[in-house]
Amino acid sequence: MPQILNGNQVRDQIKAECLPRVERVVAHAGRPPGLSVVLVGNNPASEVYVRSKTKTAAELGMHSETITPEAKITTEGLLELIRELNARPEVDGILVQLPLPAHIDSQKILLAVAPEKDVDGFHPCNVGLLSTGRPGLRPCTPAGVIQILKRYQIPISGKNAVVLGRSDIVGKPMAMLLLHENATVTVCHSKTRDLPAVCRGADILIAAIGRPAMVTAEYINPGTVVVDVGINKIESRAEAEKIFDPSRMAAFDKNGSLLVGDVHPGDMARLASAYTPVPGGVGPLTIAMLMSNTIESAERRTGLSS
């Protein structure tokens, strides 16, 4: 039987470790770590995600606020808001929820966030710190993947790791973090020749391609550790029937949809030695690492750590 890498359990461990860190910041600085989330317009999926972030912050005794400019705000108007947040001493972390409306220059906005408050780890300064192995704020999802591998004692050093996807948010930082753990890393993408064969060479396969159940049996060598970063909503019954076994279709009929990762769930469970389920794998760790990053920023900014 393969080992199921339970992200909810790891999330709870990380949250438990965050509690005394928050208490130390309060004792030292007289205030809790502060997180400001900027949510532009009305995106239902983003609103759900932001509520989860603020709920988790409250559970940990942190201060959080959600700022909700109207969708018609201009790039300059949003830049002014970011400048105000940069200047507020009680704000340790600034998170701009993506995607932004099409008329806003997202790159300008993300560049405007002060690097020391960039708890998403997207600013070029933090990307550079990651690339050179210096301390800094790491992108939350890739950092969560490393945590789940380490806490389940999955060996990384000396292993062949294949990262399927080259996004700035997951693929590229994931490759860097694996390199820092002494893995031999291959980054794949849509132009990679004989993609299934390259993936079959992995001891650890990280799928972050954004295509539902694309990674099938031909990509997975028996015994591979598979980490599925994808979260895709299947709303077509015909498509669901191609992916899920009949026992899951009752849940589809009840809810009208099912979540699936980038890896075919049946093939993954049959061939992997260990794998992250979807949901309940990598997803819960993203918010946990966001909280950890915000506390880390507060620790640095209040002089608790260098």
In the set 97, 117, 228, 267, the catalytic residue is 97
Distance of CA 291 to the CA centre of its chain: 12
How many degrees, rounded to 5, is the angle at CA 56 between CA 58 and CA 291?
100
Q: Contact 238/220 with Cβ under 8 angstroms?
A: no
Q: Is 39 helix (H, G, I), strand (E, B) or coil?
A: coil
Per the annotation, the verdict on 97 as an active-site residue is yes
Helices 7-29 and 283-301, interaxial angle, to 10°? 20
Strands 258-260 and 232-234: antiparallel
Token readout for 160 is 């062949």
The size of the chain, in residues, is 306
In the set 92, 117, 118, 120, the catalytic residue is 120
Q: Is 237 helix (H, G, I), strand (E, B) or coil?
A: helix
Per the annotation, the verdict on 233 as an active-site residue is no
Per the annotation, the verdict on 55 as an active-site residue is no
Task: Identify any residues that bridge with 97 across adjacent strands, giving them in sequence order.
Answer: none
Residue numbers annotated as active site? 53, 97, 120
